[in-house]
Structure 1
Amino acid sequence: MSTTETRAVPAALRTATGREATRWVAAHCRQVPWLTAATVLSTVAGAALQVLPVLLLGRVVDAVVDGESRSVLITVGALMAAAALLGAVATGVSTYLIGRLGADLLAQLREGAVRSVLGMPSSRVEQVGRGDVLSRVGDDVAVLSKGIRMAIPTVFSAGVLVLIATVGMFGLDWRLGLAGAGALPAYALALRWYLPRSAPLYRKQRVAQADRAQALISGLNGIDTVRAYRLEDSFREKVTSESWRVREYGIEVFRFFGRFVGRENRAEFIGLVLILVVGYALLEADAASLGEVSAAPLMFHRLFTPLGAIMFTFDEAQKSGASLTRLVGVLGEDSEDRLVGDATVAPADAVPYAVTVEGLTYRYPDTEHPVLRDVDLTIPAGGSLALVGATGAGKTTLAALIAGIGTPEAGSVRIGDTDLAALDEAGARALVSILTQETHVFSGSLAEDLRLAAPRASDAELRQALRTVGADTWVDALPEGIDTKVGEGGERLDVTKVAHVALARLVLARAPVVVLDESTAEAGSEGAAELERAVLAACAGRTTLFVAHRLTQAMAADRIAVLDAGRVVEQGTHDELVALGGRYARLWQAWREGS
């Protein structure tokens, strides 16, 4: 929809619960049982081998106290060295396997999320806003990828090490184990305080980042419209406001995490004091050996490193968890299954159809007032109609509905005898092609880019489409003609050439009805005049609806409809409306004076 058109705050895409995300991960781990099992076993082995030297150190102390032979010390020392070496190898293998398993899961999740987004109805994408969509398949994937490389392996390995070290303490003496376990309630309370508060906070931070992206995208995509209506300050304030919101969430997250670290440090202090006191009492009562009492605090201290690693990577892990729930939520997005009706879809190159809009009313979700009300329009087969009106009049919304994007609250849009509400999106695309100012050139050869609209088109047909829109001159000047690589990493095309490519796709698509929403708005005045001629050539013989950014476009149409506050207030030819002296005449006068 138009960036300057009044609309509701978009409803964000679905976000999964933590339980749903966990089930998704578990289900995909079961699909690679050998890799999952090897990952768990190597991690447990690495943790056990890291704890073993501490237990053997207690044996050394007891051997010295009991005056055992030097050979015992040599044997124990060799075992300690071997355990350290094997532990390092097992930890390295574990880190590699965790990364590989995580990369496999991320690849499946990313592909599934992108597939889900590409399969969404256009109306759903318009409803939620491109910022939310792009932040999920872009930012959230990047955050999760970083977490899989850094935080998640650390948290998983450290968690297993904490568990093994705790078991090792009970292996020394159950009373020493209980003393160390005395820190667990403090740890549990700290986590119970932190987790329920942190997950929603991280999700809010990700949503704020998506809102900021949406504000930036809206302003940049409609920059010419923003300038034309002098809305720069409004959009600048919007972006600034969203940026400050992201900043405030970032500060709150950092402050919150600092409080969590303090609570964890108190838990460590409690555990260490308990072990020292109980160990001293056991030693005085001759209920434990000096080796066991000496190894216990070292074993508990061995927990500090993995716990510290967990704490200092927990922030990244929480971000990854928030991104995971957002991506899994995209996979669970319900699709709008609109069944294809009995009406026959027009074949390519069919004669043009008339467009009839009757009693059309439309409102955005969660809004009180409709943006369009009782709109009646007719575009004769092969004719053209231009929509004009002030910002927020409903031009872009009406154009989208005529293109089959969204469903009216009341009324209908018919292409010939076919009601668009009876078609799915594929059926609507066969009848109507829409071209907006948001054109894009994909990375690859120019021929591949053009064949997005007609996969089976021959090279001759591609060149003919380019010739139709007046792009053949600059295309022939490219190093390899239509086989030249364009887009990212290839030949850079200016806005006029990008629009030429989009118009050539429009020619190749051959839909009998064409909707153009400010399709030449991004070009300069000279480029716009060139593109207006290209638009007329591309639309020749088709039923065409223009959302006119320039009134020169409106002049070229057979008829003009003036929208105001969602209603059609004037209709007629350019000369008729100027002579009428109404809203269009005032727009025309302002346009002439501005030009």
Structure 2
Amino acid sequence: MTRLAVATTAQARRYARDLIRDYPGMFRATVGLHVAAAVAGLAGPRLLGDMVQGIHGHVPVRELDHLALAIAGFVVVQAVLIRYAHVASARLGESVLARLREEFVTRVLALPLSTVESAGTGDLLTRTTRDVDALSKCVRFAVPETLISLITLFLVIGALLVVSPVFAAPLLIGAPIIAVGTRWYLRHAPAGYLRQNAAYADVTEGLTETVEGARTVEALGRQRQRVARTDTDLRRSWRAERFTLHLRTVWWPLVEISYVLPMVLTLLTGGWLYLRGSVSLGALTAAVIYVQQLVDPLDRLVGWLDELEVGAAALARLLGVAAGPPPAATPRPEPAGNRMRVCGVRFSYEPGREVLHGIDLVLEPGERLAVVGVSGAGKSTLGRLLAGVHQPTAGSITVGGVPLAALPPERLRAEVALVTQEHHVFIGTLRDNLAMVRPGAQEGEIRAALTAVQALTWADELPNGLSTVVGAGGHPLSPAQAQQVALARVVIADPHTLVLDEATAMLDPRAARDLERSLAAVVSGRTVVAIAHRLFSAHDADRVAVVEAGRIVELGPHDELVAAGGVYAALWDSWQGGAMKKARPEGAPFP
């Protein structure tokens, strides 16, 4: 299994910087409000120090009242500024998060299907859930809280220097401790959190496979093996999380010491200087309060810096979905016609293990080709190559003289469409599910597509007809109905070539035969490649390609291949005497 890429730290930082540059006004407003709130908060300790000094010096009560009112005023101003600063931070965070989500969805939808299949569902599912949630928390809370903490720290230290540079000396003792500890943490944390997220993806992948294949696991008696696989994945995830926990248990105590120690030294040093008459009681009071004020932003910085590392790892994984060089801005060639040509195609899922060996094939426009063979012969792989899902390891596949790989995704899907056994009904109305392939489709076109796949009758019988909400939580559709919806989408998309890979597998033989005949009538004049075990597709096709061990061993019309008495004739005789005899009522004529 090939895991999806992860962006580098430099790429993640560059992307974050670009985001900030795209929202200059909101960013400046957010920073400005937080700076103003922090400055308003610095006035209180200084005024409180003046009040203590005034009480000690027996100043008039009126002056003390003025100081008290000033302190109260600054507290109110700070509260108002903090409120608007948090609103500005929330707006900026939600705007950035919305853009991140939209870009991530765009990246996911742009991924080649072959990349998704090779990576597996676990990694992609973890990125779309756990990593998006982590990044959401980081953008909404960690980034603004860290920004507030840094601004407050610098301003408080500046205010402390204004009171007296002597009081800043104890900070020099705590600074090296926090600097060394933070540097050690940041050196190990990124890789640790990436490893933790990757381990969690393995757990998700294993559990998903076990749940989806529960019946197969039970039938083969592989419960112990799957439990052992889950235990192994959980142990790996536990070790990864224990490592990041170890980083925090070392780093946090060091940070605690780095700001508790300066506060104690400030009290001792300031008291000693006050007794010697070097500093006033008001200055000592303001300095102690300022040092105390350093605790809260440092606490928040420590707490949220860990979330920043989690968010940075999540961002790197989300950006990695689209890792790779951007496509070159070169003119796209236009296909000259609809003829598809396969020349010397070879394909390997893994290096050194070829699945297809030198396939040559020409598909004429409007031809109906059936691809048959035993399971594992390479039929589905050939179909996916014809649909442009995979690219040949060697050789070429062209449409109208243009390689499929040279066509942009949106143009490729207008040329060739793949319909497999797998289908999905999205949450929404049945009409929306059908029109999604062409949003401008009219009601008549949608109903015609349903008629073509023999689904209009049951669609009209739904509680609200085409306006009935289907998908998860909506009106349930049977597997056969869901597959008919998928086929109706193809009819609406109207590509010139269809690759049907067991597209009617969920329907009973009679319904499947009727549906394929109806579909063939609708796509008259288009190329149809049908990959199936049910050989009535081959019986009705213009030509039949027999795939065996990754090669086309026979190619020709049904009657000629049966008369030749080769591989296809043996398949036909076996299917006619076995599966068809069971599928049709006794005495029914063979279609």
Q: TM-score scaled to structure 2, two decimals?
A: 0.84
Alignment length (residue pairs): 573
Report the alpha carbon displacement of residue 403 of structure 1 after superposing the two structures with TM: 0.6
Range with bigger deviation, 512-521 or 299-308: 512-521
Aligned to 2:518: 537
Report the alpha carbon displacement of residue 193 of structure 1 after superposing the two structures with TM: 0.8
Per-residue Cα deviation, 1:236-290 (whole angstroms, up to 9, x for no partner):
6656644543343233323322222122122123323432342234224321123
Residue number among 485, 504, 507 corresponding to 2:488 in the alignment: 504
Aligned to 1:467: 451
The one-letter amino acid paired with 1:519 is A
Per-residue Cα deviation, 1:36-69 (whole angstroms, up to 9, x for no partner):
2221111112222233322322222222222222
Residue number among 347, 352, 370 corresponding to 1:362 in the alignment: 347
Per-residue Cα deviation, 1:88-121 (whole angstroms, up to 9, x for no partner):
2211111111111111111222222322333444
Alpha-carbon spacing, 1:457–1:46, altered in 2? closer, same or farther (3 Å) = closer
Residue number among 249, 257, 266 corresponding to 1:258 in the alignment: 249
Residue number among 80, 87, 94 corresponding to 1:89 in the alignment: 80
- The alignment partner of 2:279 has SS state of coil
Alpha-carbon spacing, 1:516–1:209, altered in 2? closer, same or farther (3 Å) = farther
Aligned to 1:386: 371
Alpha-carbon spacing, 1:555–1:287, altered in 2? closer, same or farther (3 Å) = farther
The one-letter amino acid paired with 2:5 is L
The one-letter amino acid paired with 1:383 is R
Per-residue Cα deviation, 1:191-240 (whole angstroms, up to 9, x for no partner):
10111211222222233344444555666677788889888776666566
Alpha-carbon spacing, 1:426–1:180, altered in 2? closer, same or farther (3 Å) = closer
Alpha-carbon spacing, 1:369–1:231, altered in 2? closer, same or farther (3 Å) = farther
Residue number among 89, 105, 117 corresponding to 1:98 in the alignment: 89
Aligned to 1:310: 301
Q: TM-score scaled to structure 1, two decimals?
A: 0.83
- 1-side partners of 2:323 and 2:459: how far apart? 43
- The alignment partner of 1:370 has SS state of strand
1:61 pairs with 2:49: no
What are the residue-to-residue correspondences of 1:483-522 with 2, within 5 Å?
Answer: 483-488=467-472, 490-521=474-505
- The alignment partner of 2:194 has SS state of helix
What are the residue-to-residue correspondences of 1:146-545 with 2, within 5 Å?
Answer: 146-215=137-206, 241-330=232-321, 333-336=324-327, 340-346=332-338, 353=339, 356-364=341-349, 367-377=351-361, 382-390=367-375, 394-415=378-399, 419-488=403-472, 490-521=474-505, 523=506, 530-531=511-512, 533-540=514-521, 541=524, 542-545=526-529
Report the alpha carbon displacement of residue 305 of structure 1 after superposing the two structures with TM: 2.1
Per-residue Cα deviation, 1:147-183 (whole angstroms, up to 9, x for no partner):
2333332222222222222222222210111212321
Q: Any unmatched runs of 5+ in structure 2? A: 584-591
RMSD: 3.8
- 1-side partners of 2:219 and 2:562: how far apart? 25
Paired residues of 1:578 and 1:588 also in contact (CA < 8 A)? no
The one-letter amino acid paired with 1:534 is L
- 2-side partners of 1:11 and 1:22: how far apart? 22
Range with bigger deviation, 485-494 or 506-515: 485-494
Residue number among 28, 33, 39 corresponding to 2:24 in the alignment: 33
Range with bigger deviation, 475-484 or 448-457: 448-457
- 1-side partners of 2:248 and 2:382: how far apart? 48
Alpha-carbon spacing, 1:281–1:138, altered in 2? closer, same or farther (3 Å) = same
Aligned to 2:587: none
- The alignment partner of 1:344 has SS state of coil
Range with bigger deviation, 203-212 or 85-94: 203-212
- 2-side partners of 1:234 and 1:54: how far apart? 65
Report the alpha carbon displacement of residue 579 of structure 1 after superposing the two structures with TM: 6.9
The one-letter amino acid paired with 2:7 is T
What are the residue-to-residue correspondences of 1:123-134 with 2, within 5 Å?
Answer: 123-134=114-125
- 1-side partners of 2:159 and 2:574: how far apart? 83
Report the alpha carbon displacement of residue 293 of structure 1 after superposing the two structures with TM: 2.6
Paired residues of 2:146 and 2:301 also in contact (CA < 8 A)? yes
Alpha-carbon spacing, 1:275–1:536, altered in 2? closer, same or farther (3 Å) = farther
Range with bigger deviation, 26-35 or 237-246: 237-246
The one-letter amino acid paired with 2:356 is L
The one-letter amino acid paired with 1:343 is P
Alpha-carbon spacing, 1:544–1:231, altered in 2? closer, same or farther (3 Å) = farther
- 2-side partners of 1:513 and 1:331: how far apart? 29
Paired residues of 2:562 and 2:568 also in contact (CA < 8 A)? no
Alpha-carbon spacing, 1:67–1:502, altered in 2? closer, same or farther (3 Å) = same
Paired residues of 1:361 and 1:370 also in contact (CA < 8 A)? yes
Alpha-carbon spacing, 1:297–1:590, altered in 2? closer, same or farther (3 Å) = farther
The one-letter amino acid paired with 1:172 is V
Alpha-carbon spacing, 1:580–1:128, altered in 2? closer, same or farther (3 Å) = closer
Alpha-carbon spacing, 1:20–1:278, altered in 2? closer, same or farther (3 Å) = farther
Q: Any unmatched runs of 5+ in structure 1? A: 1-8, 347-352
The one-letter amino acid paired with 1:270 is L
Alpha-carbon spacing, 1:136–1:334, altered in 2? closer, same or farther (3 Å) = farther
- The alignment partner of 2:256 has SS state of helix
- 2-side partners of 1:285 and 1:193: how far apart? 41
Paired residues of 1:503 and 1:535 also in contact (CA < 8 A)? no
Alpha-carbon spacing, 1:416–1:175, altered in 2? closer, same or farther (3 Å) = closer
Report sequence identity in percent: 30
Paired residues of 2:420 and 2:502 also in contact (CA < 8 A)? yes
Paired residues of 2:371 and 2:379 also in contact (CA < 8 A)? no
Paired residues of 1:562 and 1:584 also in contact (CA < 8 A)? no
Alpha-carbon spacing, 1:162–1:488, altered in 2? closer, same or farther (3 Å) = same
